[in-house]
Structure formats: C-alpha cells, structure tokens
Structure 1
Amino acid sequence: MATTGAAEQRQLALQDLMDRYLISQADEPEAYRRVALHEGYLKAWFHERPRWRILSGRGVYRLERMPSQVLFHRGLPRLRSPLSYACLCWVLWFAETLVTTARDWFVISELAQRIATVSEGRFTLAERSHREALVQALQFLIDLGGLLLRDGDADRWVAGQDYLGEPPEVMYEFTEMAPRLLANFSYESLAVAVTADHGRRTAPPTGEEAPPLTRAWRALLLGPVFWKADDPEAFAALEANYEAVYRDLEASLGWQVELTSSFARIWRTTTARHAGAVLLDLYPDPGEEAEERHTRYLFHPILLLLGRCQEGVAAGRWSADADGAVAISAGELEDLLTELRSQHRPSWGAALGALSIAELVTVVLSEMRRMGLLRGPDRFGRCWLLPAAAGIRGRYVTRETGARRAPEPEQPQAQQIRLF
C-alpha cells in the first residue's frame, strides 16, 4: 500500500537523515522542514533500533551513526590518503579547542602549527604532501558547510609562494555546523581502531556496547552487506527477529531486507536519493567531480573480475570456507585484472583505461571493499571474497552488428540486481 500524507513525510525524513552528512535549513529547506516537523518520531525511531542520536543546532540536523564494527574500507573516499583523514580529525579537534577562546576564525599557519605539535611527527609543515592533505581536509569541510574561506589562497600556501614579500596566509572561519560533525567514541573504541589489523578477514568490534539486535540494525543501515562472520551473535538476533525487522523497515522506509544463511543486506526499493549507492558508489562526495572517481566505467572490471572468480570456484581452483568466504591472494586478483585489462581496456573509458595495472588494482579492490564484496589483503597478501560476491557477475554481450555493450549483470535465482 502506498504511503500518503504524514506517513510519507516521515519516510522521506528518515531517508533524508540516512542520505546526508548534514541537513542545513539554508541549503535544503524542504528536507530540514520534514525533519523539524517529525523530530520526535525520528529521534524515537533511531533510538529504538540502532540507538543513534539526531544532533541538532541552529538551522542544522545530523544523524550520528555509531558503528559496532570497525570497517576500514568505509569513511570518506574523497580524502585520498590516511593523512588527509587524520587532518580532518585534527581540524575538528582544533575547532573544539577554539570554544575556550570565544572565536571561530583562525589562520592556516596557526592550525598547522597546532597539528604539528599534537601529531608527534605524523604531520610536518616541511612536507608539501602534508600541507596538501591539510588543505584537502579543509576544503572538504567547506563543501560540507562546516567551514568558510574568508581570505587568502590555499594553493599559494601549499606552494609556499610569497606575495609582495609576505609569506602566504589563509583565513578560515568555523560555522555552527562544525561541532555537529564530531562523534563521541569511547576510549575503548579508539584503542580498538588504533590497534586493529586493517587487512584482517573479519571486522573487529568497535568496543561500543550495544545489544545484539541493535548491532544488527547498525550493520544493516550502515551497509552495504552484513556478513555473519563479523558478528555471529548479532546475526543470530536478526535471524530470530527477521519478520519483525522486515515489516518494520518496509513500513518505515519502504526498503526490504534480504537474509541468507551467511549475510544480510537492505534493498532500497524506493527512488530516494543515492539509491544506486547501495551497490556502487555512483555519486561523488560534496564538491567532488564524478569523473575523478571513474564511476561511469568502474563497474566493468569489477563485474568481469567477479565472473572470473566464480568460474575459478566452479572449477575447484578456490573453495568457500564455512562462513562462505573464498580465500584468494592479491597476486591472483592482480593476474586476473591484468588479463581482463588486456582484453577489454578499450571498453572501460579513457580515464579508467589509462590507469596502470597497479593503479587499477588499487581502485578496483578499494571499491569492492566498499561494496561489501572483499576483505584484505592482510600482511600475507591474502584476500577474501565475501558471500555476497557470489551473486554478482557480468559479461559483455554484442549486438548483431558486433558493437560491444556494457557488461550485463546475471540474475542469480531470479534476484533482480540493477547496477546501471
């Protein structure tokens, strides 16, 4: 039954919060109005299921998504290096320290010096790449609406170019949105994140305490795939409450839950914003050009690679373990991608086709991790294809004229999968 009136507005408001980093009254007045109108319902909905908070300020809302597992492939892909991500965290920490000074403005040299002091050698002004990482983080905050550029040229500061004999300087100002971007993790969670092996087979717990069903809700809503091996107790709770979760999610958001013996995931059956991102990150982050991510063609080598891996499993080259994962070395994946690249590179677009094989491997495996299809490599070079990868593959088909078309996803067990 189609939702109408208040129920439809609540559904859209839930999607608004799930789809955005921040909801600003100035930039998105309709989304802000929906959340403000149904704020009590929305806060109760997220508290009762994943136990997340809705943070509010003057003219802004944000859903604070606290994970129960450390997923190293998730985060902000626009920040192209771990240092850029670290710089973002340091900038937000710096914003918190300014509260005691009763000012919101700062100059970049002041910020950089503070970061260099607290980073214990991880950030230094002497390295151009470090200055670039800091500017990337600042620009990301500008695009989110948490920061304003008041004066100066950041590129000139990165290059160290004097102007009229004066050293380059840039002035910024934090907006009221900046504090809403902070998340309050426990010290136990931070200790887990720091010491965990980024290439391990299963995702370690964050240390944030929550009941099993709450953890299951978090895994489903954060997506894209909830693998049983990551949290067997939460998966068992989902199995025991599957019918209730299915009905709840369908009524509240218009989405459906798929549950198998080894994984679960949400299918967004509505036409909400970013619905395609459930399987592929087809949309750029704020301020990012889509062409930078090669999103138009990236699914080609991914689909073809998954097909080759499935053929290898069928032929006995690899086998699935008890949790449904297939162990395969990073070297073997690179060999398969090298072969596919030599055969199909002209069909992958100019930008993706111009990448070296090493760059292609990095981009493809990174996106597969984000799609919930791959883990690793660990320090021994081992990767694991997760169970969800078994249901997706692609192949090129040709018309009678011989013209090549994009790879079409095959349909496992009548399951409808639309990737493009």
Structure 2
Amino acid sequence: MANFDILEDLKWRGAINQETDEDGLRKYLKEHDDLALYCGTDPTGDSLHIGHLIPFMILKRFQLAGYHPVIVIGGGTGTIGDPSGRKSERTLLSAEKLHQNEVALTKQMEKLFGTENFEIVNNAEWLDKLTLIDFLRDYGKHFQVNNMLNKDVVASRLENGISFTEFSYQILQAIDFNELNKNHGVQMQIGGSDQWGNITAGIDLIHKLQGPDRQAFGLTIPLMLKADGTKFGKSAGGAVWLDPEKTSPYEFYQFWINQDDRDVVKYLKYFTFLSHEEIDTLDEATKKEPWKRAAQKKLAEEVTKFVHGEAGLKEAQMITDALFSGDIKNLSVKQIEEGLKSAPAAQADSNVKNIVDFLVETKVEDSKRQAREDIKNGAIYINGDREQSIDFDVDPGKAFDGKYVIVRKGKKKYTLVTIK
C-alpha cells in the first residue's frame, strides 16, 4: 500500500470536510508508516446506527491501508454525554446501563474491525482517576471560556441554555486526545463535522502540554445529506441499527437497495471498499439502465456483508428473492416476520374458512364480489400458492406453525394475517 494515497482516495469519495493541517499530515504519511488515528463513541445506547457508521468507515479505510485505528469507548465522557446535535440536556444514564452499552458497542466494533492492527480503549481508564482539583489545575487553566463559547456546539445551545456539565465536555474530549497522543502513540482524531471544535480543542491542548511541534492532526467528515436535502441515516421506520436484533439483516439490506439513483453512487464511494473503476462502472450502468438497479444491489450486498457478514447477507437475499418471486413456502416463521414486518397486517381466528369470507374479513378485499373476481382471475395467493377456486377453504393451521397466513394480491401486495 506504499503508493496508495489515502487522502486523495478520501477526497475522491467525498469523505473529507475539514483538515487541521493537510500539508503536515501528507508529510507525516510520506515519512512514517506508523500513523495511528482514533474516533470515539459514547455508550449512550447499546447499538450504533448507520449514521454513527460514517466516521468508522474512514477508520476502516485507514486500517485497510495499513495504518492503526483506535476506537475510544467513552465510559468516562458517556456519563455526561456529548451536547453535539442536541437542543436540550441529555438524560444521564446509570453506571450499570453505561457498562451494558460499553460491552455491546465493543462487540460491534470487534466485528467490524477484527482483532489485528486495531485496539479499543475506554476513556474511563484515565478520566475516572482525575480529581476535581487535577481537572481544574492541569487542564481547566488551558481553556479560555470565551473560546469555548465560540465553539459551534456550545454556541448553538446558548439560547436555550447549557449546563456546566455539558459545557465541559469539550475539555474531557481534549484530554482524551492528549492522553492518546502522549501514551498510545495516536497522531490523528477523526469525527463528524460537528466534532471540529472538540478536535481542535484537543490539538490545542496537546501543543500547550507537549510542545508546539508535537504531531497532532484532525479530520472531519461532511454532513451526509440525501438528494432531497434531508439528513441521511433513517428509514420510514426510524433509525437503521447495526444490531441485528434492532434492524434485521433483511431490513438493513432493503434500506440500501431502495436508495435513490441520485444518491447511490455517493453511497458506493462512501460505504463500500470497491475500487474507483468498479464504482465508475456501476455509475455508468445506473445512467444507462437505471431500471436494473445494479448499483443499488451492489451497495446493499457490500454494506450488509460488511456489517452482518456473509451469513447475514445470504439470509437477506434469500428473503428478498422469496418475496419477489412469491415462493415463500420455504421461509421460516422468523424470516416471514422479518420480511413482512412493514407489510399490511390483519388478524383472523384459527377456524377453517372459505377464501372469499377470509379475504373480506381480513380486509384484503373490499367486497365479496371483488374477492370472487380476483380469485377467478388468478390474482390471489395463499401461503405462496395461487388459488383460483372460490370454494377453496383457508386452513390457518397448515403453514408457518399456524401463526400466520400470508396473502398476496397481484405481484407484490402482501398481507400478513396473524392467527389469534
């Protein structure tokens, strides 16, 4: 990877917003092969979502280029919570809940980064040892309140008010960078665009405590917006989580495969490790034959495999293919629940019932006349089988452990009928 220019690659991918010292970083990368860089996350939840994934994709790129990524789990800062992006004070979590979240996030990171040339540290290791007097004497005296007030994160909160607790967060994050730089050999911090003030505060502290020539760099990632101007990262159902228990691999796959043509190439550049040539080819395919959605399929495949592994990808593709083709008989109850989570839902009792009555009672059809017409025309499928007889009886106990009856009307319109 010696000839690989990672900064130029990141620029091509649209992944750099601001850099503290581009020339200095380029010089360092040219002269050294031991760059270590970090990104932090506070354990305020038990899973990351795809919005959180954005800076960690940059860490992964540096790892693949042979550099050393460090992830800071904020066991110390998480007791306060970063005020970035918030309009009001954060609800503080208990020590027990924070620890549970730390364990969960550590497992997620280990899954994404493996075990080689990678480390996770917890800032509670050094922050918990600080006394109030140490904090004020050793660190607080290096921060000018007027400068802190001008940081975007703080300035945006002044109208509604910000507590001293959250106001002091930037000092704690600066302490993190200094600790990692001094004792863990970390030269660079990366983060979202809202972290610029915290990152520069850390670099300033390093230069004050360790000298102005000490190597320390910062890089932020642009705020990612969709083509319609809205913020990237959420589906109609809310956040898209990395935890498969919160967002199944199928739902995760569907999020990516349903991306707009106007956004898909940008996401291929950012969220996959495909080469420039591969992405350019997919870009051309999207322009020439957008209906084939080749770029979306590749995007969904690559990101799902990265987050959920080969097994998660195969599961997502199997459910997708089954629902698209209508051949659902081999899906398990769990797969049905995942695949039809967002489908129209209805309920029915466990009694065997004439198909016409069943369709009307579950509101798949508005009337018996319409039901008879659609059945005769071959538009109705029960549990994957086309039923064209108006005398057919629906037996809820015959499939899917008696928990569900799956009705499909036409090519795509599924209804998930839960049996009471």
TM-score, length basis structure 2? 0.28
Q: Which has the larger radius of gyration?
A: 2
TM-score normalized by structure 1? Answer: 0.28
